[in-house]
Amino acid sequence: TVGTNIEKYRSYPRIVGETGGKDFVVAHPSADRAILKTALTRGSFEFQGQKCSASSRAYVPASIWNDGFKEEFAAEVDGITMGDVTDLSNFIGAVIDERSFAKNKAAIDRAAADPTCTIIAGGTYDDSVGYFVRPTVIACTDPENEVFKAEYFGPILAVLVYEDEKYDEMLTQMESVSDYALTGSVISGDRAAAAYTMEKLRFAAGNFYINDKSTGAVVGQQPFGGGRASGTNDKAGAPQNLMRWTLTRAIKETLVPPTEYGYPHMG
């Protein structure tokens, strides 16, 4: 819109863009299971997953996933209370509107029909009274699948289970599988592994969390913003964001100005 109206501006406009995300949680084999489960549940399904920072893809080692975590996590997700938001015993409510409901319904139906995907929790929806989509967890064996790339902006989490010894290979693949680069987190009990992951994924998330969910930034408390398709990464709430809107003027005063045009070597 700015580009098509550029002739109307006296000065070129300054733009800060903040669009969407396909935010991740990476679990290192040293991850604490309880921390991981809570980070996934809260990060993915709080506010019905309707946050640009919501966790919507997770990478979990086989040593954790196959050791009862899959069943524990699925049971927790299926136990999430959902309903009227005026009833404070409910954790989540309906998605925002019919368009959002249709988008999430289509994503669930697509995953249900995909042979590389298995719905392990949720997978149902109901618009008879409000636009309700159950929190849904999809385990997918194809790391290039749409479920790891597309932003659904709803309560849908895609999980890739990786072999523990292929941690670095997994990081390399997931770093740019999605166009977005807004938020992400690593759950790790190994400080060196957490630092390595943070460095490896330095361009994959403008806001990176260690042993926490991928959401929670509050303007004025934690600078927020991402790059790539997620926006201009101008970090709302940070001092450098203020500089984005200032007009910088350079001033030069010459105390001994020349009075002839010629240079000394010309004589």
Q: 215 and 43 in contact (C-beta within 8 Å)?
A: yes
Which residue, among 52, 154, 39, has the nearest Cα to 93 in the 3D structure?
A: 154
- Catalytic-labelled residue, pool 52, 117, 140, 151: 52
Q: 119 and 140 in contact (C-beta within 8 Å)?
A: no
Structure tokens at 98: 């019919």
Give dist(CA 129, CA 180) in Å, integer.
Answer: 33
- Judge whether 140 counts as a catalytic residue: no
Give dist(CA 44, CA 177) in Å, integer.
Answer: 19
- Judge whether 98 counts as a catalytic residue: no
- Catalytic-labelled residue, pool 18, 76, 146, 175: 18
Using alpha carbons, list the distances in angstroms from residue 15 to 1, 179, 204, 245.
11, 20, 22, 9
Write out the catalytic residue numbers: 18, 52
